[in-house]
């Protein structure tokens, strides 16, 4: 029995490992040099890094307050809101693109009034960021919300006794206790945003230098220049490894520097 389990486990592990090794292998096997196509790759990398940086910033700025409200306050339809906040995690990205188009496209619910003001969102850098924030923010919000929920309410009461208002309490107690969870959530969000494809190609379109992020370049170059495709894919894989390594490293820190909320019991 032990043997069968081991074989099945090995099969699964190999299935996950072999494609990534093969990707590196194919890239190294490609003939020719990539110098002449560097421009498109560099443009896409810069666009990816720039747009995900803006997305990450927006996710912290707007996601943290939402996580706080979901963790600490009771309000009507809270359950429903929670579901809506989390649904993009399991939503097919192409559906997210349709939804964004229906809302913010030129003929969209919000898009029509916006276009009367002369604002068009589709096919712009803004659209790239909106697509990323839509699909990626739930990872951050969820991580931060559950961390906020884990902080005992007595701490808040104790702080209130000492005269600390809600804001002071949040800034000096909740935030420092949650920094690591926020960072991990943010990295996961960022990695998801970096890989965003379906919603972006539908809602933001595909134009090198304007909306063509790395995944879109991979798709576009597939039929023109395989080297561009494979090298960009490898770069994305590298970034994913880096992001994941960072979260593992942060988790490792927990062992050296135990979580103050977990240790006392």
Partner 1 sequence: MRTHILVFVALLLTLSGCQLGKEKTPQLTVFAAASLTDAFSELAQAFEAQNPGVDVITNFGGSSQLAAQLSQGAMADVFASANPAQMQAVIATGRIANDGEQPFASNHLTIIVPADNPAAITGLSDLARPGVALILAVPGVPVRAYTDEIVTAMDMPFQQGFYANLVSEEDNVRQVTAKIALGEADAGVVYTSDVTPDIASLVQLVPLSDAQNVTAVYPIAPLIDAPQPELAQAFVAFVRSEAGQAVLSRWGFGPPPGQ
Q: Within positions 214 to 233, which residues make up the interface with partner 1, using CB under 8 A?
A: 219-220, 222-224
From 211, 214, 232, 243, residue interacting with partner 1 (rule: CB under 8 A): 211
> Contact between 29 and partner 1 (CB under 8 A)?
no
> Contact between 125 and partner 1 (CB under 8 A)?
no
| Matching residue, tokens 């135990």 | 258
* Helices 175-195 and 38-72: angle between axes, nearest 10 degrees: 140
SS3 state of residue 176: helix
From 4, 28, 80, 117, residue interacting with partner 1 (rule: CB under 8 A): 4
In this structure, what token pair is assigned to residue 28? 């190294």
Which among 55-63, 188-196, 205-213, 248-256 is the span making contact with partner 1, rule CB under 8 A?
A: 205-213
From 6, 8, 18, 57, residue interacting with partner 1 (rule: CB under 8 A): 8
d(CA 191, CA 49): 11
> Contact between 210 and partner 1 (CB under 8 A)?
yes
How far apart are CB 112 and partner 1 at their closest, in Å?
Answer: 10
Decide if 156 contacts 177 (C-beta within 8 A).
no
From 67, 85, 96, 101, residue interacting with partner 1 (rule: CB under 8 A): 101
CB-based burial, 103-121: b 16+ in 10 Å, e otherwise? ebbeebeebeebbeeeeeb
How far apart are CB 202 and partner 1 at their closest, in Å?
Answer: 9
Q: Is 41 exposed, middle or buried (0-12, 13-18, 19+ CB in 10 A)?
A: buried
From 120, 126, 146, 247, residue interacting with partner 1 (rule: CB under 8 A): 120
Which among 75-83, 116-124, 134-142, 150-158 is the span making contact with partner 1, rule CB under 8 A?
A: 116-124
Q: How long, in residues, is the chain? A: 265
d(CA 173, CA 53): 27
Number of residues that bind partner 1 (CB under 8 A): 22
Site for partner 1, rule CB under 8 A = 1, 4, 8, 101, 105-107, 120, 122-123, 201, 205-208, 210-211, 219-220, 222-224
């Amino acid at each position: 029995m032990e043997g069968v389990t081991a074989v099945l486990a090995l099969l699964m592990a190999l299935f996950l490992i072999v494609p990534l090794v093969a990707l590196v292998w194919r890239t190294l096997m490609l003939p020719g040099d990539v110098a002449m196509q560097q421009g498109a790759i560099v443009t896409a990398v810069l666009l990816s890094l720039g747009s995900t940086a803006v997305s990450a910033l927006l996710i912290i700025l707007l996601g943290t307050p939402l996580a706080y409200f979901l963790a600490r306050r009771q309000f009507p339809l809270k359950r429903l809101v929670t579901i809506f906040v989390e649904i993009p995690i399991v939503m097919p990205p192409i559906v997210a693109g349709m939804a964004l188009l229906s809302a913010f496209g030129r003929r969209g619910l919000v898009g029509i009034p916006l276009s009367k003001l002369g604002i068009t969102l589709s096919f712009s850098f803004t659209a790239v960021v909106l697509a990323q924030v839509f699909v990626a923010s739930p990872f951050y919000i969820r991580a931060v919300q559950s961390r906020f929920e884990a902080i005992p309410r007595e701490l808040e009461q104790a702080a209130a006794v000492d005269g600390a208002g809600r804001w002071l309490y949040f800034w000096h107690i909740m935030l420092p206790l949650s920094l690591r969870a926020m960072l991990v959530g943010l990295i996961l969000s960022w990695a998801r945003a970096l890989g965003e494809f379906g919603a972006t190609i539908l809602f933001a379109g595909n134009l090198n230098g304007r909306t063509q992020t790395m995944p879109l370049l991979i798709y576009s170059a597939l039929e023109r220049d395989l080297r561009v495709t494979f090298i960009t894919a490898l770069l994305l894989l590298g970034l994913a490894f880096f992001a994941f390594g960072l979260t593992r490293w942060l988790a490792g820190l927990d062992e050296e520097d135990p979580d103050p909320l977990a240790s006392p019991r």
